[in-house]
Amino acid sequence: MKHRFLAASLLCFVLLFAGCESADDKRLKELKTILSESGLSGDSAAAALTGIDGARERFLFLVDAVLVEMEADPYLLKRVDKSMALPADYEPGDLVALDGSGLSLSRSGHRLRKPAFDALVVMSRAASAEGLTLLVSSTYRSYEYQKNVFARNVAEMGETEASRVSAAPGKSQHQLGTVVDFGSITDDFAETKAGRWLADNAGQFGFSLSFPKGMEALTGYVWESWHYRFIGGAAVNLQNEFFAGVQHDLMLFLDRLSRSKDRLTKR
Ligand SMILES: [Zn+2]
């Protein structure tokens, strides 16, 4: 009788333990809920969830790394798109002048945020080592500057067309100070050596192509083979491994994540 009682107790204990969720399990479940609330298309969300199930530890690791970056530098991974604008008075506090940096520049007066500048210098050196020059053609643009760019485009081509090729003031990633337009700023750039090199290598240096080919319905913008946003290595890996390389979807997730941090179980 005593033995039977002990055996039953042991069984209960084992069952209880097996049914007990670990902190990682809980956190993963919460992150999946956040992902499904992020506004990704059904197909993209399903693909991301499948990827997460196949590489749980890796996903948790990268999310942790990105959360640390978001805490330290909230604007580095800030969502900026057609439906999410920056404040008109947002100007980064760590803009660095590119003049005299040794970078190849289209004109004087270019500026970038320090983390993007440092990464660009390293990337340009790597390109140089392979005999390529990365021409920097557009960098930080203030709200006021973007206002003029957009107004000029609207006057030239009308609002609908202007909105496909340029951002309204406040909605330009260039206001973040972490974006570089390279080369000719035309579709021909994609087929140049520099354009192909960037497509293959920019991610290794923390840069991400914001408006890929064939994604106008998603991003709101035509393909821009020259427009790269610095988001850092962990975010690039998260983007490539779980969001099919699509920065827009990553940003939707991170935006939702930044608003839901408080409900996450600690690891
Ligand atoms: Zn651009």
Q: Give average pLDDT by consecutive 10-residue segment, the chain, 267 residues.
A: 61 58 95 98 98 98 97 97 96 98 98 98 98 98 97 97 96 98 98 98 98 96 98 98 98 97 89
* Distance from Cα 105 to the centre of ligand 1, integer Å: 15
* Distance from Cα 20 to the centre of ligand 1, integer Å: 49
* pLDDT for the residue 44: 98
* Distance from Cα 179 to the centre of ligand 1, integer Å: 7
State both tokens at 260.
């839901």
Which contacts qualify for 201-204: CB closer than 8 Å, 24 or more apart?
201/123, 201/126, 201/127, 202/123, 202/228, 203/236, 203/240
**Using an 8 Å Cβ cutoff, are 237 and 62 in contact?**
yes
* Distance from Cα 227 to the centre of ligand 1, integer Å: 4
CATH of domain 95-230: 3.30.1380.10
Per-domain boundaries in the chain: 25-77+244-267, 95-230
Distance from C-alpha of 199 to C-alpha of 48, rounded to nearest angstrom = 22
* Distance from Cα 207 to the centre of ligand 1, integer Å: 13
* pLDDT for the residue 267: 83
* pLDDT for the residue 263: 86
* Distance from Cα 166 to the centre of ligand 1, integer Å: 8
Beta carbons within 8 Å of 84's beta carbon, 6+ residues apart: 171, 255
* Distance from Cα 181 to the centre of ligand 1, integer Å: 5
* Distance from Cα 187 to the centre of ligand 1, integer Å: 13
* pLDDT for the residue 20: 74
* Distance from Cα 126 to the centre of ligand 1, integer Å: 22
* Distance from Cα 117 to the centre of ligand 1, integer Å: 16
In DSSP terms, which residues pair with 97 in a beta bridge?
Answer: 111
* Distance from Cα 43 to the centre of ligand 1, integer Å: 28
* Distance from Cα 97 to the centre of ligand 1, integer Å: 18
* pLDDT for the residue 129: 98
